[in-house]
Amino acid sequence: MMASSFSEALRPLAARFPKVVREHEILRVAATVDGRNGAKDAEGVRREVLTWAQNRSGGRLPQEAWNSHNFDYLSGGRNSAGVRIVGDGFDMWAIRADDPDKLVPGRIWTTEVVVGIMGGMRPRFSARLLASTSEGEFDVEPHTPGFVQQVVERCGLSRGQYALSPQPWMIDSSDEAERLADMLVDPERALPVFVLTLPENALDLIYPFFDAAALARAMLGTAHIAILPATQTWVLTDRFGKLRSVFGGAARAYLPGFAEDANPYSHRLVLPEFIGTPQTAAQCIRWMRTLAASESVRRVRMGRDILAFSAIRNTSLETRQRELETEGASESEQLLAANALIEALQKQVDDETASQEYFAGEHRQAEDRAATAEAQFAGATFHIQQLLSQIRGRGENPDADVPLPGSWVEFTSWCDASLIGRLVLSPRARRGIRTAEFEDVALAARCLLWLANDGRERRIQGGDGSLADERVEEGIRNAHCGGDQFELDWQGRRHSVDWHIKSGGNTRNPKRCLRIYYFWDPSLQQIVVAEMPAHRRTWAT
């Protein structure tokens, strides 16, 4: 029988050869070393890392290692190598250490650490954890190497303006909760923040079903952990609304880039019923550790935030080769140096290939998730439309029992929950709502309900022209924007915001003047509110 694919045809041949060993990058850590004495602080970090490496080597590292010189140490698979380059205004030290897995034959763990000083800046610290294995299915629960905790406790490390800590941040006051909220929306924040809330009946700051301190140690350098008691969760709810908050024993991952108007579904929420037993809590811990590790590989940039050991060693070998040529060394010495450089360059190529394969895989998975999400959203929108039609067919109002928001603080969450699939707020509209002065919140909500129902139905039926000067309610009408029309980028496309709902009268007092600028997105079959609730400012106004 003829093979149906190249892979099937080659499978018998491939079976004769040893399994391919692949290197998987597990996590990355990038930080700055605390302290005011750069050279002394860097030396302290190097000694902590060397102590850890020696304890895992099964022997004693050579004196060159402790003198921060180049070294190679071979010990039955527990091999280590170090290199240092000192130049004009910089000092780079790197180590690579291998350690066979104690339970899985053929799996080798590799740790790379770089400590560098440039100019008068604080020393930079970076670490990579990799695993080489021929396993077809490679699945581990990531854990930051132990030396990171040693360095944090004895030397101090920070990522940006936030110190790294092997202990979770216990929030015990409204001031600290406000600082947590500020941290979550800080555009410079580089690490995910996992916020664990305590149930209402919790008697102390101990999470019921898992050890938060052990979790903080496992994710040290890849994420921050905060424990928020029930008495302080209102701070996040008031600031971000219910859809973006976390409370009642739930846990949430706030990724870098979170903001008051962020898509809440991009920052995963784990409800308390999914972590209410030891088994489900273990699954949640695994998800958190895996997410933090994968985010570290995705966000910590090679060549800018961290350096690979191979890149530093290559530079050292190239420098040494030039020195041998200048010194007139023998051909055999130069050949040895050239072979070492070729081997190191091949290692660097392998590293780059592995990185490219990793990101190509991530890209494919992201495309698959996006396509699935888009298809699910389209299906959900169609289903919503069917349900609305059925409700209206029975002569009922689908929003008859929908409670209106009582304040602007509740408004965006109300829109996201009550109008999903029919109407969506743009980031610009969300910002306007946060600073809104318009006094009649219920009126603004009723106008959005009109858009989500009557306005949307007429759009679907192609009757947008009949909406001109349509009465929404007494003193409120729907109309073309006229001179207030503007452009807005939405979902990767530029749209003309050409309609608005407006209150009567000539006043532009933001407390009494209502404007809701919107456009129709035919691809998603929904109304997009571009700005509200104030009259927009233009060059003419």
Task: Give the residues across from 496 on adjacent strands.
Answer: 487
First-last CA distance in the chain:
78
Buried b (16+ CB within 10 A) or exposed e, 177-193: beebbebbbbeebbbbb
Strands, E, within 204-301: which ranges? 224-228, 251-254, 269-270
Are the beta carbons of 173 and 205 closer than 8 angstroms? no
Copy the structure tokens of residue 247: 């409370």
Of 84, 79, 78, whose CA–CA distance to 66 is shortest? 84
How many CB atoms sit inside 10 A of residue 302's CB? 17
Would you say the C-alpha torsion 72, 73, 77, 82 has a positive or negative sign?
Answer: negative
Angle at 243 between CA 238 and CA 248, to 5 degrees: 75
Element (H, E) at 351: helix 331-393
Are the beta carbons of 192 and 291 closer than 8 angstroms? yes
Q: What is the pLDDT of residue 352?
A: 63
Q: What is the pLDDT of residue 5?
A: 58
Q: What is the pLDDT of residue 540?
A: 46
Task: Give the residues across from 25 on adjacent strands.
Answer: 130
The type of residue at 97 is A
Of 99, 97, 107, whose CA–CA distance to 127 is shortest? 97
Distance CA 421, CA 466 (A): 23
Q: What is the pLDDT of residue 161?
A: 93
Q: What is the pLDDT of residue 353?
A: 63
Per-residue pLDDT of the chain (541 residues; tens, 9 = 90+): 455 555 566 566 555 555 667 888 999 999 999 988 888 999 999 999 999 999 988 889 999 999 999 898 988 778 899 999 887 888 889 999 999 988 888 889 999 999 999 877 899 999 999 998 888 778 889 999 999 999 999 999 999 999 999 999 999 899 999 999 999 999 999 999 999 998 876 555 556 677 889 999 999 999 999 999 988 999 998 888 888 899 988 999 999 999 887 878 889 999 888 887 888 888 999 999 999 999 999 899 888 888 888 888 777 766 666 666 676 666 666 566 566 656 666 666 666 666 566 566 666 666 666 566 556 556 666 666 667 667 667 776 667 677 899 899 889 888 888 888 889 998 889 889 988 999 999 999 999 999 998 888 888 877 665 677 888 998 899 999 888 889 998 877 889 999 999 987 777 788 989 999 999 988 778 899 999 999 887 544 4
Copy the structure tokens of residue 238: 């008031």
Copy the structure tokens of residue 516: 């809701």
Copy the structure tokens of residue 384: 């919503």
Q: What is the pLDDT of residue 37?
A: 86
* pTM above threshold 0.75: no
Q: What is the pLDDT of residue 429?
A: 92
Distance CA 90, CA 42 (A): 12
The type of residue at 497 is V
Buried b (16+ CB within 10 A) or exposed e, 97-124: bbbeeeeeeebbbbbbbbbbbeeeebbb
Q: What is the pLDDT of residue 141?
A: 92
